């Protein structure tokens, strides 16, 4: 059954995935097993994205399916789900002056389903907010997203602010459609990632996941 | 205005293109000097040559500029959007100092006052949610809901007037109460159908509509002369005659939003395709009508959500390409020149877009992050291409690096003509030195021997 659910999710058969979930839950499958199948399915989707066999529509659809399945499973759960988020903490946001959320949301979602505890600061986030959040959460990785070239300078300012606050150990990754290696160098960030899975790979590399 | 000749029906697409290009190239303009006139004729000829895949005297340099001319001119974007004198000073200075081979237009910046009056909801702009010194930005949203495809398909204009516009222009929200114009089929219906026009909120909405129209008139009366001054004194031709979009992007950017359209690809693909097909003639008309009105053959088409990473090649061929191709064919048939801005990366799509049904020498493809050698290999001899100088380099590089990049680009892909030098991403952030390095290197190093 679990495998059928995994296949339905990874083949992007939304209706099948939902009906299999219903069947599983009605026949008394532990909701935690259902969620575990989802996690495995997302691993496959992520891998396919990395391999160039899956694209943004599939990430978005899989995310949507996942949301619906957890809405079905969560109310039936007796025990609290043991947090699978043990890979480490990441703070993410779209930098100051930039109000775009779509890319940042996809990156945050992929980090989340990959097992990171993600603090999403939203959009138009000033440097001090990143600093405060890192201090509060103890996150070891910060992700900065920016849609437009106007984000270059705020990214640079954010990296600087983190350093100025003494958070030298924190690794900073940046990304967005107009971000590349030259901008990584310009901003002083530790790495730049081309897409959402690159963000996951970087975080894993740094946090040893 | 391009005067459509009487024998238009007998002309081939090539002859129509020639007629449109010649009308634009030979336009009667009161130039400030013979030098300016010669410059205009020379530049339009270079562009004609590259469109028709010949070698011009040198590589045309046609940068895209966004809000950078504001910073360069010492004003904020907010000032450029609201104070048209400042807008004019900045944009005229930019054109005069850099003298590109196309007019860098001031028309895409404002009119801020009208945006205020109409209460635009789907963008934030300086003073309304974004800082004074940077570009306006879109607010991602599902401005058309997933269950509205049938309404859109049945009557797109009606849908825009009564559903879409009332959502994105706050002042026109009461337009939801209007009836469709197509109700007015007989005399008695004039009265009955127009009852909503008497409802106070609708009347207020039309009042605001008229006031915004007034503000837009003030704006265009200022912007028109700004553009004319640059054209007449510098001989830089306007290179955007019309504007249109790929139907997938009209659905994906404007109406359903990124998330919405991507879910529709799975949940209601047939409706999505039907809606795009419905939009094809509308998109063609938008491009051709404006190209005719402005007596300028180039129809600008930014390509958005079909880029690498946005979908598989299979989906590109199923969802994105067929209706875009239909739009291109319609534009070409009418003698206009689709001037595509291929945003993001397109390496995966080059085999699809070089469709043998699209005749050679009728389109222009400007790239952002696609590998230009691949572009040359696939598009060379079929369509004019260009672009690609990175926004990151123009912002964070040195003039020497920019110069080296441009020279390499010209060495790699410009040798056979049919090529335009341009930056890859609309220019908001750079330094004057870097921009000079790009433009001046193009002008000197790009001379064909
Ligand atoms: C779609 C689009 C629009 C739509 C947006 C609305 C909508 N509903 O989608 C519309 C048509 C409204 C639009 C309007 C404009 N746009 Co626009 N637009 C785009 C386009 C084509 C795609 C952006 C997008 O949707 N990306 C989707 C997300 C998911 O992709 P992404 O941001 O690249 O994120 C991925 C990776 O980068 C990475 N990533 C992202 N963040 C992070 C963070 C970390 C830590 C890591 C590791 C990775 C990572 O992972 C993500 C997922 O894989 C881009 C060009 C492009 N291909 O990028 C231009 C682009 C952003 N637009 C541009 C411009 C100029 C404009 C306008 C000003 C045009 C105008 N005059 O009106 C306006 C307003 C500006 C704005 N965008 O707000 C320019 C900006 C140039 C600049 N200087 O920055 C671009 C770059 C096009 C270009 N080549 O010139 N736009």
Does any ligand 1 atom lie closer than 6 A to the CB of residue A175?
Answer: yes
Q: Where are the domains of chain A?
A: 2-80, 88-207
B135 to chain A: nearest residue by CA? A150
Å between A55 CA and nearest CA of chain B: 5
Those residues whose C-beta lies under 8 Å from the C-beta of residue A117, and which sit 6 or more positions away, are A83, A85, A87, A88, A89, A90, A137
- The beta-carbon neighbor of A61 closest among B135, B262, B396 is B262
Query: What atom in ligand 1 is closest to the CA of residue A104?
Result: 41
Q: Is residue B209 part of a domain?
A: no
- Select the residue from A59, A145, A178 to test the B interface by mutation, using most B Cβ atoms within 10 A: A178
Tell whether B429 is within 8 A of chain A (Cβ). Answer: yes
Those residues whose C-beta lies under 8 Å from the C-beta of residue B375, and which sit 6 or more positions away, are B350, B365, B367, B385, B413
Does any ligand 1 atom lie closer than 6 A to the CB of residue A164?
Answer: no
Q: Is residue B183 part of a domain?
A: no
- Per CATH, the number for A2-80 is 1.10.1240.10
Read off the tokens for A20. Answer: 């299999």
Q: Is residue B58 part of a domain?
A: yes
- A88-207 classified as CATH 3.40.50.280: yes
Phi–psi pair at A103, nearest 5 degrees: -70, -45
Strands B123-126 and B137-138: antiparallel
What does the alpha-carbon distance between residue A86 and residue A209 come to, in Å, rounded to a whole number? Answer: 9
Q: Is residue B332 part of a domain?
A: yes
CATH number at residue B299: 3.20.20.210
CB distance B159 to B152 below 8 Å:
yes
CB–CB of A178 and B312 under 8 A? Answer: no
Read off the tokens for B334. Answer: 């009418």
- How many A from CA of A100 to the centre of ligand 1? 8
**pLDDT band at residue B66, thresholds of 50, 70 and 90?**
very high
- The beta-carbon neighbor of B392 closest among A12, A147, A178 is A178
Q: Could you tell me where the beta strands, DSSP code E, fall in B294-374?
A: 298-303, 337-342, 364-367
Give the number of beta-carbon pairs within 8 Å between A and B. Answer: 85
B415 DSSP assignment:
T
CB–CB of A55 and B311 under 8 A? Answer: yes
Residue A82 has pLDDT above 70, yes or no: no
CB distance B337 to B364 below 8 Å:
yes
Instruction: Find the domain containing B416 and state its range.
Output: 8-62+239-445
Q: Is residue B135 part of a domain?
A: no
If you search the block for the tokens 């199923």, which residue do you land on?
Answer: B318
Residue A79 has pLDDT above 70, yes or no: no
Does any ligand 1 atom lie closer than 6 A to the CB of residue A147?
Answer: yes
Q: Which protein residue has the closest C-alpha to ligand 1 atom 44?
A: A175
Does any ligand 1 atom lie closer than 6 A to the CB of residue B391?
Answer: yes
pLDDT at B152: 98
Does any ligand 1 atom lie closer than 6 A to the CB of residue A141?
Answer: no
Residue B386 has pLDDT above 90, yes or no: yes
- How many A from CA of B241 to the centre of ligand 1? 24
Q: Is residue B355 part of a domain?
A: yes
Query: What atom in ligand 1 is closest to the CA of residue A143?
Result: 45
- The beta-carbon neighbor of B428 closest among A102, A150, A183 is A150
- The beta-carbon neighbor of B131 closest among A12, A97, A101 is A97
Mind listing the pLDDT tens digit for each residue in B208-266? 999 999 999 999 999 999 999 999 999 999 999 999 999 999 999 999 999 999 999 99
Tell whether A154 is within 8 A of chain B (Cβ). Answer: no
Does any ligand 1 atom lie closer than 6 A to the CB of residue A97?
Answer: no
What does the alpha-carbon distance between residue B410 and residue B387 come to, in Å, rounded to a whole number? Answer: 11
Does any ligand 1 atom lie closer than 6 A to the CB of residue B426?
Answer: yes
pLDDT at A208: 79
Residue A131 has pLDDT above 70, yes or no: yes
Q: Is residue B49 part of a domain?
A: yes
Whole-model pTM: value is 0.97
Tell whether B309 is within 8 A of chain A (Cβ). Answer: yes
Q: Could you tell me where the beta strands, DSSP code E, fall in A110-196?
A: 117-120, 141-145, 171-175, 191-192
Cα A157 → chain centroid: 23
The total number of structural domains that make up chain B = 1
pLDDT at A188: 97
Q: Is residue B185 part of a domain?
A: no
Percent residues over pLDDT 70 in chain A: 96
Does any ligand 1 atom lie closer than 6 A to the CB of residue A63?
Answer: no
Q: Which residue intervals of B156-197 are DSSP H helices? A: 156-159, 165-168, 187-193
CB–CB of A102 and B258 under 8 A? Answer: yes
Which of B128, B131, B134, B135 maximizes ligand 1 atoms within 8 Å of its Cβ, making it the mutation to test the pocket?
B135
Those residues whose C-beta lies under 8 Å from the C-beta of residue A174, and which sit 6 or more positions away, are A143, A144, A145, A146, A155, A183, A184, A187, A189, A191, A192, A193
Å between A53 CA and nearest CA of chain B: 7
What does the alpha-carbon distance between residue B95 and residue B219 come to, in Å, rounded to a whole number? Answer: 20
ipTM score of complex: 0.94
If you search the block for the tokens 């938008």, which residue do you land on?
Answer: B286
pLDDT at A76: 83
Residue A135 has pLDDT above 70, yes or no: yes
pLDDT at A87: 87
**pLDDT band at residue A80, thresholds of 50, 70 and 90?**
low
CB–CB of A195 and B309 under 8 A? Answer: yes
Mind listing the pLDDT tens digit for each residue in B273-289? 999 999 999 999 999 99
Q: Mind giving me the DSSP string for B121-164?
A: -SEEEETBEE-TTS--EE----SS-GGGHHHHHH-HHHHIIIII
Cα B365 → chain centroid: 13
Does any ligand 1 atom lie closer than 6 A to the CB of residue B394?
Answer: no
Q: For chain B, how big is the Rg over CA atoms in Å?
A: 22
């Amino acid at each position: 059954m679990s495998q059928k659910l995994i296949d339905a999710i990874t083949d992007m058969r939304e209706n099948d995935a939902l009906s299999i979930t219903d069947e599983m839950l009605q026949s008394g499958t532990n909701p935690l097993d259902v969620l575990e199948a989802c996690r495995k399915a997302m691993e496959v989707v992520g891998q396919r994205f990395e391999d160039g066999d899956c694209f943004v529509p599939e990430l978005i659809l899989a995310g949507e399916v996942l949301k619906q399945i957890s809405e079905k499973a969560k109310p039936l759960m007796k025990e609290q789900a043991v947090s699978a988020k043990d890979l480490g903490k990441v703070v993410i946001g779209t930098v100051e002056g930039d109000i775009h959320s779509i890319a940042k949301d996809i990156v945050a979602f992929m980090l989340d389903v990959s097992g990171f505890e993600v603090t999403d600061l939203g959009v138009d986030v000033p440097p001090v907010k990143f600093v405060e959040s890192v201090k509060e959460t103890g996150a070891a990785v910060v992700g900065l997203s920016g849609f437009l070239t106007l984000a270059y300078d705020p990214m640079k300012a954010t990296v600087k602010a983190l350093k100025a606050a003494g958070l030298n150990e924190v690794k900073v990754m940046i990304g967005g459609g107009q971000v590349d290696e030259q901008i990584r160098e310009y901003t002083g960030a530790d790495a730049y990632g081309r897409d959402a899975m690159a963000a996951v790979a970087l975080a894993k590399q740094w946090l040893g996941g | 205005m391009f005067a459509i000749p009487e024998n238009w029906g007998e002309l081939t697409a090539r002859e129509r293109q020639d007629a449109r290009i010649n009308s634009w190239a030979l336009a009667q303009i009161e130039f400030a000097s013979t030098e300016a006139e010669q410059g205009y004729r020379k530049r339009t000829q270079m562009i004609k040559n590259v469109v028709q895949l010949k070698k011009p005297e040198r590589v045309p340099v046609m940068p895209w500029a966004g809000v950078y001319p504001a910073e360069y001119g010492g004003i904020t974007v907010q000032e450029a959007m609201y104070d048209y004198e400042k807008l004019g000073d900045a944009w005229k200075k930019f054109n005069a100092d850099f003298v590109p081979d196309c007019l860098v237009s001031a028309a895409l910046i404002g009119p801020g006052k009208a945006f205020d009056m109409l209460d635009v909801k789907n963008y934030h702009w300086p003073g309304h949610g974004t800082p004074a010194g940077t570009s306006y930005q879109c607010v991602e949203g599902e401005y058309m809901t997933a269950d509205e495809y049938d309404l859109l398909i049945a009557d797109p204009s009606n849908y825009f007037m009564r559903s879409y516009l009332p959502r994105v222009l706050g002042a026109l929200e009461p337009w939801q109460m209007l009836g469709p114009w197509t109700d007015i089929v007989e005399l008695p219906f004039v009265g009955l159908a127009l009852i909503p026009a008497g409802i106070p909120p609708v009347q207020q909405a039309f009042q605001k509509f008229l006031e915004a129209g007034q503000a837009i008139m003030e704006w265009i009366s200022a912007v028109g002369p700004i553009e004319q001054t640059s054209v007449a004194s510098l001989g830089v031709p306007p290179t955007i005659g019309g504007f249109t979009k790929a139907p997938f992007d009209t659905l994906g950017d404007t109406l359903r939003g990124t998330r919405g359209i991507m879910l529709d690809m799975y949940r209601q693909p047939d409706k999505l395709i039907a809606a795009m097909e419905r939009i094809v003639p509308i998109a063609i008309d938008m491009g051709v009508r404006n190209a005719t009105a402005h007596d300028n053959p180039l129809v600008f088409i930014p390509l958005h959500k079909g880029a690498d990473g946005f979908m598989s090649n299979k989906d590109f061929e199923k969802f994105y390409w067929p209706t875009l191709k239909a739009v291109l064919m319609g534009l070409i048939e009418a003698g206009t020149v689709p001037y595509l801005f291929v945003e993001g990366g397109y390496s995966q799509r080059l085999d699809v877009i070089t469709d043998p049904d699209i005749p050679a020498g009728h389109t222009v493809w400007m790239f952002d992050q696609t590998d230009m050698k691949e572009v040359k290999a696939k598009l060379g001899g079929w369509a004019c291409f260009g672009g690609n100088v990175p926004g990151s380099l123009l912002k964070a590089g040195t003039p020497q690096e920019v110069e080296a990049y441009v020279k390499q680009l010209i060495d790699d892909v410009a040798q056979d003509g049919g090529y335009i030098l341009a930056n890859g991403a609309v220019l908001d952030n750079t330094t004057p030195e870097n921009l000079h390095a790009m433009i001046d290197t193009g002008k000197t190093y790009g001379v064909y021997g």
